[in-house]
Structure 1
Amino acid sequence: MTHRNSTESLDLVAGELVEVASREEILSTLDQNGKLDSMPFMPEMLQYCGKRFRVFMRADKTCDNIKQWSLRRAKNAVHLTGVRCDGTSHGNCDAGCLLFWNEAWLKKVAPDFVSASQVAQPALASSPDPRTDLTCTEQRLRESALRPDPLVPGNTLYTCQATELREFTSHLYWWDIRQYFRDIRSGNLRRGVGGDSKSERLLEVVLGILEVVRSLIITAFNKLQELRSGVHYPHIEGLLDTTPTCDLNLQPGEFVLVRTKDEILATLDHNNKNRGLLFDSEMVRYCGGTFRVLKRVNQIVDERTGKIMKMKSSCIILEGVACVSEYHRLCPRAIYHYWREAWLRRAE
């Protein structure tokens, strides 16, 4: 295992094995608000301390939904495979966001140091004795997730990585070509089906370049269409004034079939929404597929305000069904898609 100074960059790439530092090591990097370089370390992340994971993707860029959609530049951060927020310290938020990990909170692990069965398991080394000289303690960390509502006395607002995203990122222009070089170099675009031979690695690079070129063409086309008031690719157009409801009472573990694109379009209004929920272009790829219900979404933290937002209509998350940013400049954030039950039917 490689130990390092917290100011150094690990320069991690997708697929690398890492170990999350101990609680004391991570707390020692945080300010009194539980942040490092303005990035919050959330209480939900403590459960992963001392465990090992694969890097899912580098988080060199990320989508911003707080204001009008855009991409933001992040530094020295990665996402870990399968490591999502469970919302327990944020009003039981059901969003299941993929967590950001500053590289200062991670350690590289040699590939032959552990077996595959040990990934996502606690490290063997014992934790040091709790420190008393920390600027940020666990109690302070939990307190930093909450703040009073200045407009409603007695009401609680929440602070998390999603609400603070603009604080630890900077604007990223679509034409900044460096982001696409980082996408290729980081391994974010690897398909993971090739071997370790030089020819296969070269093929992975070529395929990554083609994916970047495709993304640039789609982005340029949609920018041009905006200027001439044309339709975006892929084209989605709802026509209803009032959208239908559907209550299947789907439960976690059930299998469902996502309806066809045309069937879903028939449930959308002029803003491509059903009961206020957007059917996004990234969801088209899942039409016609069969998936398992992961959970029902009852409430989420509104990243714009920090308020808990209750869902008025049924909303479903499906296992493994997340945004791949095919039409949004290859953002690696992998946000879960939310599905209306009107867009699904039980698999027979």
Structure 2
Amino acid sequence: MTPMTTRLSPGDLVEVKAPAEILETLDADGTLDHLPFMPEMIELCGKRFPVSRRVLKTCYTGLNLYDAMRRFRSDDVVTLEGVRCSGAAHDGCQKACLIFWREAWLRKVGPLAVQSKVDPDGRARLRARLKTSTGPQTYFCQASELLNATVNVSRREQLRTCVGEVRTGNRTIFGMAHGMATWLYWKIRRRLLGEYARGRSTSTPVAGLNLKAGEWVEVKSMASIRETLNEAGYNRGLYFTPDMRRLCGGQHRVDGRIDKIIVDGTGEMRQLRNTVRLEGSVCGCDDLKLGGCSRAEISYWREIWLHRVPSR
């Protein structure tokens, strides 16, 4: 059962509770209502962050690309501003997931409140409870357990959560109206014209630039990118989403390589090649999901879609 907590809203300042307090909320697998508290989160104990948004629904990689959404069984999950998983305790997974936080793990504080001290021994006891794998090749984290911690959201529920997103302060009325109109536009366009980034390749090409974090690149034109895609808009299993077109022709800095990620729901570590992330580039979920979602996944960029340019 989820402990009684203060209901949090976007913009609230919170402090991650002490390890001993968090340990009291966890079961033998280190989860609360099937959502793992991960080792990467321990170092954040005692630190303060603003709440980014309440998590009313979330997308899930591997289900229907356009419609499938999930929600946590209890409405007690939030995200914190800019707090992503480092992957350090999971063999360097580079998925950089936005971490989900149960409200039971957080304490609302005022800006002048004295910051709590964290006991190092408490960190060690908490770490001993937490799982990172379920087998030699299978990892245990929030991504691997997302299906277990959530339930499917019907289309009718998705419409209701659009209202909820406004009521909770996640989005303004105008922002939600724009998001719903965006979703409707792309849905109709796909129905009439097919995928926006539709190519003609049956065997999509591959190319590598061996890019490093900090280098600058220019995103190729949409016409050039289409030449690398199949009719469904994929390059070797990686989808070019409609919102990524906005970066075409622009120059952006590489945030890092993406060579391996843990797969949602399975815990498998999947290897990627010739793929990077760009600073500030995250999934524009409104193009694909009604009302968007709270996960703000990093966008994956094939190097064949990019040109290296001189550093600024």
TM-score, normalised to structure 1's length? 0.79
CA gap 1:245/1:107 in 2 versus in 1, 3 angstroms: same
Q: Alignment partner of 1:316: what SS?
A: strand
* AA of the residue aligned to 1:179: T
Q: Superposition pairs for residues 1-348 of structure 1, below 5 Å?
A: 7-69=3-65, 70-74=68-72, 75-110=75-110, 112-113=111-112, 124-127=115-118, 130=121, 137-141=126-130, 144-148=131-135, 155-176=136-157, 177-189=159-171, 208-220=172-184, 230-231=192-193, 235-311=196-272, 313-327=273-287, 328=289, 329-348=291-310
- In the TM superposition, what is the alpha-carbon distance from 1:222 to its structure 2 partner? 5.5
CA contact (8 A) 2:19 2:126 kept: no
- In the TM superposition, what is the alpha-carbon distance from 1:128 to its structure 2 partner? 5.4
Once the two structures are superposed, residues 84-104 of structure 1 have per-residue CA deviations (whole angstroms, 9 ceiling, x without a partner) of: 111122121111111000011
CA gap 1:282/1:224 in 2 versus in 1, 3 angstroms: closer
CA gap 1:255/1:242 in 2 versus in 1, 3 angstroms: same
CA gap 1:333/1:171 in 2 versus in 1, 3 angstroms: same
Unaligned segments of structure 1, at least 5 residues: 1-5, 115-122, 149-154, 190-207
Distance of 1:94 and 1:129 partners within structure 2: 27
Once the two structures are superposed, residues 312-336 of structure 1 have per-residue CA deviations (whole angstroms, 9 ceiling, x without a partner) of: x211011111113121231121100
Higher RCO, 1 or 2 (CA under 8 Å, sep at least 6)?
A: 2
**Mean CA deviation greater in 295-304 or 275-284:** 275-284
TM-score, normalised to structure 2's length? 0.88
- In the TM superposition, what is the alpha-carbon distance from 1:224 to its structure 2 partner? 6.0
Once the two structures are superposed, residues 201-239 of structure 1 have per-residue CA deviations (whole angstroms, 9 ceiling, x without a partner) of: xxxxxxx2233233334445566677xx5345x722111
CA gap 1:92/1:242 in 2 versus in 1, 3 angstroms: same
Distance of 2:277 and 2:193 partners within structure 1: 28
How many residues were matched structurally?
Answer: 302
CA gap 1:72/1:271 in 2 versus in 1, 3 angstroms: same
Distance of 1:272 and 1:308 partners within structure 2: 24
Distance of 2:284 and 2:42 partners within structure 1: 27
Look at both structures and tell me which one has the larger radius of gyration over its CA atoms. Answer: 1
Distance of 1:147 and 1:174 partners within structure 2: 33
Unaligned segments of structure 2, at least 5 residues: none
Once the two structures are superposed, residues 244-286 of structure 1 have per-residue CA deviations (whole angstroms, 9 ceiling, x without a partner) of: 2222221100111222222211211122112322112232232
Pairwise CA RMSD of aligned residues?
Answer: 2.5
CA gap 1:126/1:213 in 2 versus in 1, 3 angstroms: closer
Distance of 1:39 and 1:332 partners within structure 2: 16
CA gap 1:129/1:287 in 2 versus in 1, 3 angstroms: closer
CA contact (8 A) 1:324 1:331 kept: no
Distance of 2:252 and 2:188 partners within structure 1: 35
